[in-house]
Structure 1
Amino acid sequence: MPTEALAVRACGVAKTISGPSGELEVLRDVTLEVAAGESVAILGASGSGKSTLLGLLAGLDAPSAGDIWLAGQNLAALDEDGRARLRAGQVGFVFQSFQLLAGLDALENVMLPLELIGRPARTAAREALDRVGLGARVRHLPHQLSGGEQQRVAIARAIVARPAVLFADEPTGNLDERNGEQIAELLFALNTEHAAALVVVTHDPALATRCTRRYRLGGGELRK
């Protein structure tokens, strides 16, 4: 499939980091293609490099070798500001630890991505919170929300700009089973309704089974 038709494409990606005992190869010759509307799960043991790979695919870090295209753009051709602008308009990211700003209420947290790119924010943020079932919690601060509610705010923030790609790093990892199931339902509903590519890093086999394709990361290599 042509690169411009893919939401995410990684070709021969490697990542090496410096450690106390020398160079450590975290990823080796990783190749992955994800089209719009697909859902892909990446499984693997703790420390296998799953979150590192997700960060590379989202342009949060640069690979040591190889090329990554995101929403048709070669990340290597963009400087840090260019990658930030691309993420702001095309990428949603859901973190395991929610990453909400403690001093902002739910509405302000969700408005933030749109404000950063100069787009009207308040109405879209309210609609996103309604979509995740938190229309009555817009003025609550993160510490006034349960874990499941905080994750739903994080998802509203991730989707408010209608991204082409949604990355989720262990989105159910800090939640109980009931809340985890609700978050999974929400992620896949958004994936289907907006045809956004969904790339999920998870330890949860039930969540992974729902994805279009599943990969396992081990020894630095990504395998089906």
Structure 2
Amino acid sequence: MTDLSTSDTSPMLRVTDLAHRVSLETDTLTILQGVSLEINRGESVAIVGRSGSGKTTLLGLLAGLDTPTEGTVALDGAEISSLSEDERAKLRASRVGFVFQSFQLLPALSALENVMLPLELAGIDAPEVRAKELLVRVGLGERLNHTPRQLSGGEQQRVAIARAFASDPVVLFADEPTGNLDNRTGQDVSDLLMALNREQGTTLVMVTHDEQLAARCGRQLHIEAGILTEPESARERAH
């Protein structure tokens, strides 16, 4: 079993010479190449790029949802690129939160039950109390027993955000969190996401094509054709 110990002085994420390729019938497609970066604890970082630029693939590798072709990824002191599938799942369950563009709520469960589920799976005491607190915090105290189809898109994303923060993750990954929302609702959801990030001190790594949303993060990274770049001013602020 690989050691999953943490270090308060190490970066939350450290990526070294990351590459990801996919074998096709007659060729090999390079999705990412030569990616190296560090993200400190408590930072908010946006990864910005056009569709097909490799940003969602990068997010999946950072979160341990996939393994790179080359290079290493260390999350909270654990080199996840060398962990087994079960070890990566354990790490994600204990330290990582996710917010997706498509919400990914379980349709048969109420808002309360959707937020309670990861707490129950983690064996956390009083999951209903914690879930209710979070749903009240995201403005859904009157909608606890509504199922996803009884909620608007913005309300569903609020449930998803509450679920993501339920187990106090050390890092939250958000993939186009406002992509399915209208401008006003998207603004409200991004306000909430940034507020919770500040309140809980969670490291936030967000993929978005929305430059306005990206500008709210402390750093912006740009990806094009699988190559990641960062403005010099952003690197200086990070160190």
TM-score calculated relative to the size of structure 1: 0.96
Equivalent residue number for residue 63 of structure 1: 68
Match of 1:5 in 2: 10
Residue of 151, 161, 182 corresponding to 1:155: 161
Which of 144, 169, 175 is residue 138 of structure 1 equivalent to? Answer: 144
- How far is the alpha carbon of 1:200 from its aligned partner? 0.6
- TM superposition shift of 1:5: 1.9
Is the Cα contact below 8 Å between 2:64 and 2:81 reproduced in 1? no
The one-letter code matched in structure 2 to 1:8 is L
Deviating more after overlay: 187-196 vs 18-27: 18-27
Residue 99 of structure 2, aligned match among 94, 97, 100: 94
Q: Which amino acid aligns with 2:103?
A: F
Matched letter for residue 128 of structure 2:
R
Q: Deviations over 1:82-113 (max 9, x none)?
A: 11111111111000000011111111111111
Whether 2:17 is the aligned partner of 1:15: answer: no
Once the two structures are TM-superposed, the CA of residue 26 in structure 1 deviates from its matched residue by 0.1
Check 1:3–1:192 CA distance in 2 against 1; reply closer, same or farther (3 A cut). Answer: closer
Q: Secondary structure at the match of 1:133?
A: coil
1:30 corresponds to 2:25: no
**Structure 1 residues 80 and 4: CA distance shift in structure 2, 3 A:** farther
Stretch deviating more after TM superposition (70-79 or 86-95): 70-79
Structure 2's unaligned 5+ residue stretches are 1-6, 231-239
How far does residue 3 in structure 1 lie from its aligned partner after superposition? 9.0
Number of residue pairs the alignment of both structures matches: 223
Give structure 1 stretches of 5+ with no counterpart. Answer: none
Q: Which whole-Å deviations, capped at 9, do the CAs of 1:114-171 have from their partners, x for residues lacking one? A: 1122112111111111111111111111000000000000000100011100110000
* Equivalent residue in structure 1 for 2:49, among 31, 44, 66: 44
Deviating 4+ runs (over 4 angstroms): none
Query: C-alpha distance in 2, partners of 1:214/1:222?
Result: 11
Match of 2:85 in 1: 80
Secondary structure of the structure 2 residue equivalent to 1:211: coil
2:199 to 193, 196, 200: 193
Q: Secondary structure at the match of 1:114?
A: helix
Deviations 1:31-64 (A, max 9, x none): 1211111111111110111111101100011111
Say which of 225, 230, 237 aligns to 1:219: 225
Alignment partner of 1:6: what SS?
coil
Alpha-carbon distance in structure 2 between the residues aligned to 1:165 and 1:111: 19
Identity %: 57
After superposition, what is the alpha-carbon deviation per residue over 1:180-204, rounded to whole angstroms, capped at 9, x for unaligned? Answer: 0111111111111111111110011
Larger displacement relative to structure 2 (5-14 or 152-161): 5-14
CA contact under 8 A between 1:4 and 1:71: conserved in structure 2? no
**Two-structure CA RMSD over aligned residues (Å):** 1.3
Contact 1:4–1:72 (CA<8 Å) still a contact in 2? no
TM-score using structure 2 length = 0.90
Shift of 1:79: 1.2
Residues 172-187 of structure 1 mapped to structure 2, 5 A cutoff:
172-187=178-193
Deviates more, 1:183-192 or 1:14-23: 14-23
